[in-house]
Amino acid sequence: MSFNFFVKSNIDFGRGALADLSEIIKGYNMKSAMIVYDGGVKAAGIADKVVAQVEKAEIPYVIFDGVIPNPTNEVVEEAAAKAKEAKVDGFVAVGGGSSIDLAKAVNVLMTNPGKIGEYGGMNMVKNPCLPLIAIPTTAGTSSEITNVSALIDTEKVVKYVVIDNNIVASDVIADPELTRTVPVSVTAATGMDAITHAVESYISNMATPLTEYNALKGLSILYENLPKACADGNDMDAREGMMLGCIITGFSFSNANLGLVHGIAHTLSAHFGLAHGMANACVLPYVMHYNAEVCPEKMVDLAKTIGLEVSGDLDKDKYLLGDALLALTKQLGIKTLSEQGIEKKDFDMLADDVLKEPVLGFNPRQGITKEDVLDLLEKAY
């Protein structure tokens, strides 16, 4: 057996952990910081608390508050120009995956030449990046600990990923209190994204014993807590569980990558702007049924992990996970493709683009055809 497993960030976890931010910043001797967030994080009152912490550290700062969901190359370049002009030497990113991914991408351009679009793919970032303190407010993408930044190239109309250990945040402040204000639909969508990460990385053809261990542990915590966090957004034990589950799961997919669910979701978001978690969740159960044909034993591992009773008949048990995930998406109000505004006339174009997604290379079932993708889209419609 031989494999590589990469972990980097210093993680400060716990309710109220945000209070540690000023001390962490001081530890870096930053001369000037950029604080990155979006309008929702500002409206929730979280951005102001972060700014107050940066002021307590007594360093100059600039704010970039123009993050959009599914951030684009253009927004990255705009923020990078501002960061370079202000000569910032560190970042504080507070928000969901969109804010943290944007900060990671801007950070690439602080120490590496050219445009962000040149860094798509794996291990393209040659120079180390500046300190980045990631403060997640959703649970979540795990972007706070992963080596991934997901961006949209609006010219090519693709969602692509920069995957590089150089872009991992140096510090994480994981404060479950910051997720209290997440609306229920976002809690459901981002939570289903996390569950997708656990499941896809567990069955990935890059999986190793260490990624499998983290995927199973992450899934069991997420599956137990997501319905509770959706039923009552003030259930802080559930919120805390979700944040912990995301971090554990992040260690898995950061190393084992993802699969066909994300290939379809990225294509849907690139063309029609679908929220990432919703796009994943609506196809996840069907892709799991599809993948079950090639990795039935692993499907049973996942089913057992979430407490499902297995019969011992592999031909039946391999579908239990997909069935349970379908029931969960219904319970949480995940929208179908048609409810998310997708029209059947676009299926053909979407299927062609899904087949070009590099992430398909990690999916356990290979030889995916256009007909397969069309069938999955039809089921999720």
Ligand X SMILES: NC(=O)c1ccc[n+]([C@@H]2O[C@H](COP(=O)([O-])OP(=O)(O)OC[C@H]3O[C@@H](n4cnc5c(N)ncnc54)[C@H](O)[C@@H]3O)[C@@H](O)[C@H]2O)c1
Residues that bind Fe ion (CB under 5 A): 193
235-242 — which CB contacts under 8 Å span 24+ positions?
236/15, 236/176, 236/177, 236/180, 239/139, 239/176, 239/177, 239/179, 239/180, 240/15, 240/176, 242/139, 242/140, 242/176, 242/179, 242/187, 242/191, 242/194
Read off the DSSP letter of residue 44.
T
Q: Which stretch binds ligand X (CB under 6 A): 107-115, 140-148, 235-243, 366-374?
A: 140-148
CB of 281 to ligand X, least distance (A): 11
Residue 335's binding partner among Fe ion, ligand X, none (Cβ under 5 to 8 angstroms by kind) is none
Residues forming a β-bridge with 33 = 61, 90
Q: Is 187 in the site for ligand X (CB under 6 A)?
A: no
Residue 149's binding partner among ligand X, Fe ion, none (Cβ under 5 to 8 angstroms by kind) is ligand X
Residue 291's binding partner among ligand X, Fe ion, none (Cβ under 5 to 8 angstroms by kind) is none
Phi/psi for 372 (5° steps) reads: -60, -50
- Looking only at residues 37 through 66 of this chain, which bind ligand X when binding is defined by CB under 6 A? 38, 40-41, 44, 46
Q: Which of 99, 214, 267, 363 binds ligand X (CB under 6 A)?
A: 99
CB of 25 to Fe ion, least distance (A): 29
Q: How many Å apart are CA 298 and CA 281, to the nearest integer?
A: 20
- Give the CA angle between residues 368, 142, 297 to the nearest 5°: 45
Q: Which of 73, 137, 214, 291 binds ligand X (CB under 6 A)?
A: 137
Q: How many Å apart are CA 138 and CA 356, to the nearest integer?
A: 29
Give 227 or 273: the residue with its C-beta nearer to ligand X. Answer: 273
Residue 88's binding partner among Fe ion, ligand X, none (Cβ under 5 to 8 angstroms by kind) is none
Residue 137's binding partner among Fe ion, ligand X, none (Cβ under 5 to 8 angstroms by kind) is ligand X
Q: How many Å apart are CA 36 and CA 67, to the nearest integer?
A: 8
For residue 126, count other CB atoms closer than 10 A to its CB: 12
CB of 161 to ligand X, least distance (A): 8
Q: Which of 182, 222, 270, 324 binds ligand X (CB under 6 A)?
A: 182
Q: Is 214 in the site for ligand X (CB under 6 A)?
A: no
Phi/psi for 174 (5° steps) reads: -105, 95
Q: Which of 9, 72, 107, 143 binds ligand X (CB under 6 A)?
A: 143
Phi/psi for 155 (5° steps) reads: -75, -45
CB of 78 to ligand X, least distance (A): 17
Nearest to 162 by CA among 203, 208, 115: 115
Q: Is 276 in the site for ligand X (CB under 6 A)?
A: yes
